[in-house]
Amino acid sequence: MQNRKRIVTWLVGALAVVLFATSASAGGAEVTSGEFEAFAGGIGSYDIDGRAQMVRTPSGKTIVSVVVSGLVPGAIYGSHVHKQACASGDAGVHYSFGHSVPGGALDGSEIWPGPFTANPAGRAVGWTSVGGIAGDDAVSVVIHAPGGAKIACADLS
């Protein structure tokens, strides 16, 4: 019963992300997305599958969502928007607005759709909304394993 409840919760979250993105793109928002791929030099034996999406809304917000599978059940993963493409220096460093924005992570200047916890099937959904429009150099989303190592990346296009 508990597993069934978790699966339904995950499916509802994923459906909400898809529905929001569809309505956002119809309202003039800029929507970019990409599929996750494991980093070639990543740790462990992750078989990552999933998608990241960024919506820059006309109202001045940036919403980032992550739906991913192939994670270790029960483990907590970090996820951050990065400044470089996945193939460029393993996506470089975290994207930063350079100043604090409502809903921003760390010092208020970053976009983190995590941390999130993988369910018993190794799936997770993460998202965040911040009060600022991400710049053109917010180009990828990285999944970090427990401990911080980069394990997967999605280029946003």
Q: Which domain holds residue 100?
A: 2-155
pLDDT tens-digit readout, 51-100: 999 999 999 999 999 999 999 999 999 999 999 999 999 999 999 999 99
Residue 27 is predicted with a pLDDT of: 74
The answer, as to whether pTM is greater than 0.85, is: no
Percent of the chain surpassing pLDDT 90: 75
What band does 110 get if pLDDT is binned at 50, 70 and 90? very high
Mean per-residue pLDDT of the chain: 86
Q: Is the pLDDT of residue 17 over 70?
A: no
Three-class SS of residue 113? coil
Q: Where are the beta strands (DSSP E) in the chain?
A: 30-35, 37-38, 49-56, 62-69, 76-82, 116-117, 124-130, 140-144, 150-155
Q: Is the pLDDT of residue 3 over 50?
A: no
Q: Determine the distance from the C-alpha atom of residue 12 to the mean position of all C-alpha atoms in its chain, rounded to a whole number.
A: 17
CATH classification of the domain holding 47: 2.60.40.200
